[in-house]
Every structure is written in C-alpha cells, then in structure tokens.
Structure 1
C-alpha cells in the first residue's frame, strides 16, 4: 500500500515455494528482468479483466432482460451474483495458491473468465446465463484475492507503485467496459450477445503472460533480499482470533456496505438513467465516469489516509458525496446526470479506503492477511442482498423512489462503521485481550 503502510507490507513472509525456486533455479540478471517485465504485464492485463464482466452487463442489462425474458427480481439476482461468487470462491484462493502456486491460479482464473464471457451470451436461458456468469466471476474472485498477494511477494520494495498500477488498471478496465460496450455493440450489428462476448478477447490476452508460471509453484521476487520472514526479525507470528476484534467487525461491515453500494451502482445506475430518458450510450458513459473516478483517487486516498491518525473523516466525506448523489438521482436524474455520476464515483472510492485500513489496523503481515480474509469474505457476504433488494423494490413499486431510499439508508451505517473502523488501534491488541 502507500506511504506509511509500505513498511508493513514489505515485511510479508516470503513463501516456501518462492524460496525453493530460488534455490533450485538460479537466475541471471537478464532472466530476472524478463520475469519482472512479464509479471508487470500479467498484473496489468489481469487487473483490466477484473470488472468488465460486471460493468458490460450493467450497460446492456435491459437488452439482456428482454432477450432472456428476465423479470426485475431475476435481474436483481443477477446483480447479486458477483458478491456471492467473490465471497464463496475468494475464500478458496489462498488454499489453491498454496497447492498450485499463485501464478498458476491466476492463469486458470483468466481462462475461466474467458470461457465464462464467451459462453454466457449464447447460453440461451437464464439458468445457463447465470452459470456461465458464475464461471467468469469465479475466475475474477480468485484473481481478485491473489493479485495483492502477488504484488507483495514479487515486488516487496515497490508495493506502493505496483498497487497504484494495479488499482489504476482495474479502474480503467471497469470504466472502459461501461463506456464502450453500448457503442461497440451497435458497431458490431446491435446484438447484445456479441457486445458481451467480445470482452472474452481481452481475458484471453490476459492468459498468455501467466503461462510461464503455471509449471512452477513460484517465481523469483524482483528483489528477493528485501523480503524477509517475520521470525528473522524476532517477530514470531501470533495466532489471532479476529472475530473477537470490534475493529475487525467494523471494517468487515464497512467493506460490505461499500461493496453493496458499488454493485448496486454497477448493476443498476445505467438503468436508472435510461428510465429517466437518458440514451443508452450516454447512460453507459455516465457509469464510465463514475468508475473512472477510481483511477486518480486510488492514488490519493491511501496517501492521505496513512498520514492521518483517524480515517473516519475520509469515510464521512465519501458518505456525504454518496448521499448528495442519491438525492440528485431522486429529484433530477436526467437534468444533473453528470454531477450525480461524479459524486457517486467519489463515494465509491470507499473501496481503496477499506483496503488501506486493512493494512493499518494490523501490525504484522500475518495479522494483515487474517484481517483481509475476514473483512473481505464477511463483507462480500453482507453485500449480497443489496442488489437483489433493489431489483425487487424496482419491480414491485414500478419506479426508483424506494430503491434510492434503500441506497440512501445504507449509506448512513456505512459512514458510522467507517468512523469506528478508522480509529487508531490494531486487531492484535483487541483479539489478544
């Protein structure tokens, strides 16, 4: 992460598989440089593919619903599938990485994304569409969990810059899919199947850089001398019961509520604008504006957060932007559409804040790993009902008043738990009392 967190992150324990590969496969500086460049390319391409499966569907949700005869409630189920898959399959990622190596798992994840994106438009039924979507989201889930791990393992002295590059690529992929899916679909003949399937090409390209890492459980870190095991510094790992920590629970709830807001935005915001009379292509651009706000703010927010003793004020400021954006969607969705898209884009940057606080609320690398697994898995589980409820309320009320009221109501507790999670304390202190 950025700033003061870098010192914590650079102390991540080097995996046994990495140390073994170093001992058994001595490398020359040119080989190490080639490996580093290939990993950077792989990280960027993988990050680009972690959201287009979701935002491209949001841009064409109305066409997909009509094509498959899907009700509003079923569409709500569809928008709840991403957090469900992230919660269920993301938990499997560390175990798979220990067995097969993180590079091999990410390569398999990119292949799953490719297959899912290629199959789902032509499944011919709602269950088939959901199954193929789940396959793609499974690949996203394991890659989503392992990408920060890979950055810490192979770039221990460049965690901040590589995390920034990864975050920028993720936001860029998210925004690009939202912006170009509708016009690209029209250019390719107007078929929503083609408009969704074309993103499989980007995922297929992301498979290639990871193929060299499939046959070995690890690869060399860029600077192996800087990654030292914790026990070498006299810091034995401590077994934590994270569930005893109030800060861990506050962070998990904060993560879940911000994820709820993000997936409601990605799944439903274009439809809100289209129902207000905004053209489909413009609605996609508005979602792209919301998503692209994460590119610059992913750099700024972690830097600011690590310099503050309490991150609660940032959570409050982001929440206020969200409340203002929801108010605009309720009273004048079309007239101020660009302003509401910007405000909601700022509000959705609670995600990098949550990741930053994960690193700041634990003292050791082991503590960060435990807290991250708990906060993300619990948070994604908590985020599942939100998009589904929006679909149900939209179908039964016939408008967006009640769904927007739900979004507004969820923002209040998000701000409150953000203040609690932002207090200057660590889970080690709370979980060992």
Structure 2
C-alpha cells in the first residue's frame, strides 16, 4: 500500500463528519455533556463569546466542563492474560492519577479481547455502541488488525495500541486513526539479529513463531536482518497456540544444529513449549525470546531456571518512567522492587496521549481526536509528562502547544502513527524468579 503523506491533512480533508458518518456511531459522552459542549462551540472548534480564546486556538475547542470518554480494549483472559492484566491496569492508571486533579470528568469503559480476534471485535462493538471515540488497545497484533479493519476504522474511532508491533499495521489504510506507543517489529528484528551475532556469536539460527501476524512478520524481520549480517536460517517453524505438545515442532527447529533459536510467542503456549524442550531434548542451545514471552513467572511455570534463554523487548525509558512506576506500585499494591511488566508504560502513554488529544479537540469525536494526536505528542511545545498530566489537559484544552514525553519514551509519532525511535532491553531470567536487564539498546526508525 502507498504510504500516507500527512495524517492530519488526510483527517482534516475528510472532516469529522466524513469519517464518523461511515457508521454513525462515534462521539458522545454517554451522559449528555457532549451536546452542551457542541452548542457552546464555534464552527472552527473555538469557544464562542471570548475573543482572546478564539484568537489563540484556531483549531481546538477549549473548556474543561465536559467529559473525556476513553475505551480500553486489552486481554485479561486467553493466551496473553499473564501479560495483559498488568497492561490493562496501566491503561487505566491515568484515570486514577487524575482523580481530584482535573475539572474534566473521566468516563472509562474496559473490555477484554480474550486474545481472540472474534471476541475482540464483539468487545470493540460494545465500545463503539457506547460512543467511545478513542481506545487504548489492542495488544496482540492479529487482534488489533481485526479490530481496526472491521470496527474502529469504519466507525471513525482512534485506536492506540501499547503492544501491537506487527509491521503490517504501519501501512494500513486507516484514515489516520491508528497509532502505537510500542515500536514496530521492523526495529525489533534488527535488535534480535544484532544480539544473535554480536552477543551470542551465532552464524546459524532457526526461528519458532506463533502462526499469526505478530509471529510471522517478526520472524521474517529477524531472518532478513540476520542474513544481512551473513547469517543463515535453514529452518523457520510455525506453531499454533494452545497445543498439548510442541515436541515435533522443536525437533524441526533443531534440525541442522542451529547456534541459536529465536522463539516468538505468548506465555500460555510458551509454558508448554519450553516444558517440552527441557523434558525431551538434551541441548543447551541458546534461545532468544521476544516481548510476548517476557513474563517474570515463566521459569516457575515451566519448572526450569531458563538459564539458556535471553530476550529482547521494548524498554520503558521515558522521562516519566519513575513517576509511572511509583504510581503503578501504589495503585496496584506491588512491592518496591517489583516491575510493572512489559508494555505497561506504553499503555499508560497510549491513554494519556488520547486524553490530551481529546482535551485539545474539544469533543468526543474520533476524527477530531485523531487530528490532534501528533499535535500533543510531537515537538515543539510545553513539556507534559505523566507527573503533570492534569496540567497538560488544561493546557491542551486552552490551545497551548504541548509536547507529551511519557513513561515509555518521548512518544513522537511519524506519518504512519509509528514511533520514530525506541529503546530496547536485552534481558534474562534471575535465579529464583524475576527478570534482569542485561543491556539497553537504542534504535531509530
């Protein structure tokens, strides 16, 4: 598909009514506030009756006497439940951080994707029918693609995923409605290849990947990058989720004695896969895993210390990371040394950016919010971080230029809604449980 030149220009050209009119289901607070706000707002989106405000906010509608509606669509059951619950918690955290700190009312609706495209579409329709114009989600790339194509894009709803990394999302014909606070796997494939060659000194590799968009495209990305470094990949083995045995698939991957195996999947399947590996095969071949298997409980669940397993995952390295982690631990009862988990900082940022864009747009309308996503996240402007999010909402509503720098990263979007740069973690499993960061790796798009 051809790439888009400028998302905001496309959205502006279509207009809010043009996108929302496809399904006629976006907008609305669910409590009547949106109708009042519309009556008090001029045609250009500025508040009438105040010349100063109109002069400084040509494209935005101010006012904090309204409700910001936000959906959350993430897995709390299914193959990604182990990772999805903390991600869902982080996506809700801005609501709790903002309690008593802002004049905006906050209306959240949380739905479970069940890590299943069909169930996720039903949940997405609940959000659409409830009038939620922007949604943090989904997590699995296959689930996100199904939801975006069949519900969000036709309905004019903004989708901002904290965890979907498939390169297929980059070139979706999305009318400028799809964004991500997690980096594309086009970057992570290069990171994996760099680790395999420079840290594990491997010249041959095999991949085992869950048979969906996330698994196949990340495997392809790694293979391309590894071959660019003169590596060879004789075997690429797909597997289905939720199988009772993966012994035959592992045997295929081990053919030709690769010097490293890259495993791409999710915890529920990973537990069975690695249990089969350690019980049925006498080898200590290094294994590289990816973000989908970054679970602190994996060694205990498998019943093995996983000494030969390391992995890569996007790392939370934004200026608001410490504040986010402090608030997360306080809200959800984690010990001081407990890690909130992979993609949790990205989930906080996804919700925060959507709320800021909503405040700047001045209405619960997907097209209007989408038009402001880059405006509130990309330089230049007054810095907003997780710790002054309430102040950021006020500035956004007043039309002040802001630049959100988040818990996970600087959160700057390119013309496709992807991040322009990301930090990755090279991690391993600690003896007795837990995850340790071995190194950090900076990569730019």
- What's the TM-score bracket when you normalise by the shorter of the two chains? under 0.3
Higher RCO (CA 8 Å, separation ≥ 6 residues): 1
| Structure with a larger share of its residues in helix | 1
| Structure with a larger share of its residues in strand | 2
Instruction: State TM-score, norm by structure 2.
Output: 0.24
Instruction: State TM-score, norm by structure 1.
Output: 0.24
